[in-house]
Amino acid sequence: MSDQPDRHVNDFLHYLDKERGYSSHTVKAYKIDLTQFRCFLADYGADPFSSLLDVDRQAIKHFVGYLIEEGLSPRSSARKIASIKSFYRYMLKTDKIDSNPAAGMQAPKRDQPLPKFIQKKVLEKVLIPSATDDWQTGRDRTILELLYSTGIRLSELVALDLDDVELDQLTVRVFGKGGKVRIVPLGQTAAEAIKTYLKERAIHMREKRGKAPLFISKRGHRISPRTVQLRLKLLFESTSVVSGFTPHLMRHTFATHLLDGGADIRAVKELLGHASLSSTQIYTHLKTEKIKEIFNQAHPHA
């Protein structure tokens, strides 16, 4: 294949990075997917395409079949098809092509697993302060309270600065994916935990220049995502039966508990910062499973 497709792919990746604000990890995933697609096209049929812009719908269908034959999971296949569709949408948007060959293309069907969540009684046990807590453990429980109160992502949490939190107003300003800003309500319990933590933070803070991070490491600098992952995992392992804990589990827990409490799904969508309602609807499945369980236990003809 010629060098021309590389230029178009690079333009697309630059657009994702600079204009859409995608993470380097996400941009890299797009690059891997498009590279695999290009390699497939290089061997496609007797007359390989000289440019990605010449690709037709049939070639993309054959690529989907190729992924299935290679034993790729439906989830991974769906991601690769999504990457290709995004690329051609951008090519159409920038007038590089007259029609989108990937429009309406369906990825292999996949069963979407229900997200796990933490039971309230388990979470409450972990959140109870201990007399043996040092300032770092107190910080960890505060982080947990904030994650549970707001449902924000780990990347959003570590990026928080002091002036992003309005304790009097009980709100948090969150910078989400693509640089989108949203204001999230803060629970009173989380606000009180932050107030207590800030007294210790003032003692251990080291950074004096630039933004003032809300959560800091033991060295007094902005806490890293990896540190949060490890510290919260240890906190759960020491006080509960939850294994395989990740900070993202708190996001699932936040959404599930809200919907179980009767919250409107559209409101939960806004709180989570989801771009579309379909991303939030998976949590309604959890509620449906709970209703089925209650029905089976209580209904005489269940």
- Is residue 283 part of the annotated active site? The answer reads yes
Q: Which of 20, 62, 177, 182 is catalytic?
A: 177
- Is residue 274 part of the annotated active site? The answer reads yes
- Is residue 44 part of the annotated active site? The answer reads no
* Residue 187, both tokens: 């629970």
Q: Which of 85, 153, 201, 269 is catalytic?
A: 153
Of residues 279, 273, 297, 234, the one with CA closest to residue 115: 279
Could you give the CA distance from residue 97 to residue 76 in angstroms, rounded to a whole number?
A: 27
- Is residue 257 part of the annotated active site? The answer reads no
- Is residue 141 part of the annotated active site? The answer reads no
Collapsed DSSP state (helix, strand, coil) of residue 121 = helix
150 and 184 in contact (C-beta within 8 Å)? yes
Q: How many CB atoms lie within 10 A of CB 239?
A: 15
142 and 197 in contact (C-beta within 8 Å)? yes
Q: Which of 80, 85, 251, 257 is catalytic?
A: 251
- Is residue 153 part of the annotated active site? The answer reads yes
What is the residue-wise DSSP string for 89-123?
Answer: HHHHHTTS-SS-TTTTPPPPP---PPPP---HHHH
Q: Which of 61, 204, 274, 287 is catalytic?
A: 274
CA distances from 3 to 7, 8, 20, 46 (A): 7, 9, 25, 20
* Residue 221, both tokens: 């600098």
Active site members = 153, 177, 248, 251, 274, 283
